[in-house]
Every structure is written in C-alpha cells, then in structure tokens.
Structure 1
Amino acid sequence: MTSPTGEIYRIDWLPGTDILHGTCHCGREHTAQDPVEMWEWMLAHPQGHDVDEPRGNS
C-alpha cells in the first residue's frame, strides 16, 4: 500500500502459517497474527515502533 505522502507499507503473509510480516516505509519490521494489530502498528509510525526491533534492508 502506498500512502498519500508516498510512503510504502508492505504486509506479507507467511504461507503455511497465520503470521503476517510487515515492513514499514522506515524499514522497521513487525510480525503479528492479527491484521488489525499489524495496521495499527504501521499507522502509529513512529510511536508504535519499538527501538529494539530490527530494521529491514530497505
């Protein structure tokens, strides 16, 4: 999904699981089983992003 400001949010479903893997436009990554939790985490940027979470490669 691309936001009106051009940021790209990516959510992938991990096949064979109930796990969603999300990557925020800032590079932070998050996993969750609940799609609502995933979107709340992404849209809370940067407040919802814990500093100890790994950054993506983008």
Structure 2
Amino acid sequence: MTRLPAAAGPREIYRIDWLPGTDLLHGTCHCGREHTAQDPVEMWEWMLAHPRGHQVEEPGGNSS
C-alpha cells in the first residue's frame, strides 16, 4: 500500500466537464459548488478563487 506523507494533507479535487453539443463547461469545486461558463480561463479563475469566488450570486439566480 502506498501512503502519502503526512505533510501532503487532504487533496482538493476540481472537476470540469464539457457539456456535449454546447460550448459550455460545467465545473464542480472540491467544496461541491457548481459553475457553468464558456471560457476555460473564467472557469479556472472561479475555482481557484475558493471560497471568495463562490460568494457571488450566480447569473440567473434568484436575487429578488
């Protein structure tokens, strides 16, 4: 069995999927929040801004 060094700590997993038939990317952050964008740079900036980038209301959200 391979073990990670204790200094490695928990791993953060980011996932980006292409939505077939569209120009959209769907990203899931390690915290579970989701985001959709056309621009891969925008997607990575959103993910790597965790948690600051996740505090902004998503476009099309219920912001009455």
TM over 0.5: yes
Where is the helix percentage greater, Structure 1 or Structure 2? 2
| Structure 2: stretches of 5+ with no match in the other structure | 1-7, 59-64
4+ aligned runs moved over 6 Å, structure 1: none
Q: Which has the higher contact order (CA 8 A, sep 6+)?
A: 1
Give the TM-score of the pair, scaled to structure 2.
0.71
Q: TM-score, normalised by structure 1?
A: 0.78
Alignment RMSD (CA, Å): 1.6
Same amino acid, percent of matched pairs: 86
In the aligned structure 1, how far is the partner of 2:36 from the partner of 2:17?
9
1:7-46 aligned within 5 A: 7-46=12-51
Aligned length: 50
Tell which structure's C-alpha radius of gyration is larger: 2
